[in-house]
Amino acid sequence: MAQAARLNLRMQKELKLLLNDPPPGASLPLLSVDSDISSLSTIHAQIEGPEESVYAKGIFDIKIQIPERYPFQPPSVTFATPIYHPNIDNGGRICLDILNLPPKGAWQPSLNISTVLTSIGLLLTEPNPDDGLMCEASREYKYNRQAFDQKARLMTEKYAKGGAGGNGSSTQDVQTNLNPSMVY
């Protein structure tokens, strides 16, 4: 029970931080000061595509699952909006070191949801093709940047417009809605 009380207190502090000082380009449209923290196991966030990136003008829905052992275990974070990115796969899973425990990852209990959202925003600006989940996207990013940029912009225009997943498609729908040369 003490663990639940600590998690509740921690989440209250994080919620206040997220609402009062959200990370650049991030918003939490379904959260409010009145949100019931005790039952908060999923947070829905939105991240705007950074202006200097191929994701500019896109709004990407992100789902953050808070584990029972948080903050000693990292949250599980996935993109609900399809995106063409070397470090984000078809299911929306993200390859980012702070989303995994050591020794392979860099998660620490001192990190928080705000840090995670900031890091994801930075990943949109600076993908890491050397540690990619998507081979074709990684290869294109490194060796055919023009083709990568074109596909990433097309996916952003198609799926990340106006928030709430753009036209309502999910990452699972992406393969059926793109032509075969665009499937990654």
What are 123-129's contacts with CB under 8 Å, separation 24+? 123/85, 123/87, 123/94, 123/96, 124/47, 124/49, 124/50, 124/53, 124/55, 124/60, 124/85, 125/50, 125/52, 125/53, 127/85, 127/86, 127/87, 128/86, 128/87, 128/95, 129/86
Q: What is the pLDDT of residue 30?
A: 84
Cα–Cα distance between 135 and 139 in angstroms, integer? Answer: 6
Residue 144 counted as domain residue: yes
Give the CATH number of the domain where residue 37 resides. Answer: 3.10.110.10
Please check whether residue 47 lies inside any domain of the structure: yes
Residue 135, pLDDT above cutoff 90: yes
Domain of 23 in residue numbering reads as 2-175
Q: Is the pLDDT of residue 168 over 90?
A: no
Query: Given a cut of 50, is residue 108 above it in pLDDT?
Result: yes
In the residue annotation, 95 being an active-site residue is answered as yes
Catalytic residue among 64, 95, 123, 160: 95
- Residue 183, domain member (yes or no): no
Residue 59 in contact with residue 157, Cβ under 8 Å?
no
Structural domains of the chain, count: 1
What pTM does this model have? 0.85
The model's confidence at residue 5, banded by pLDDT at 50, 70 and 90, is confident
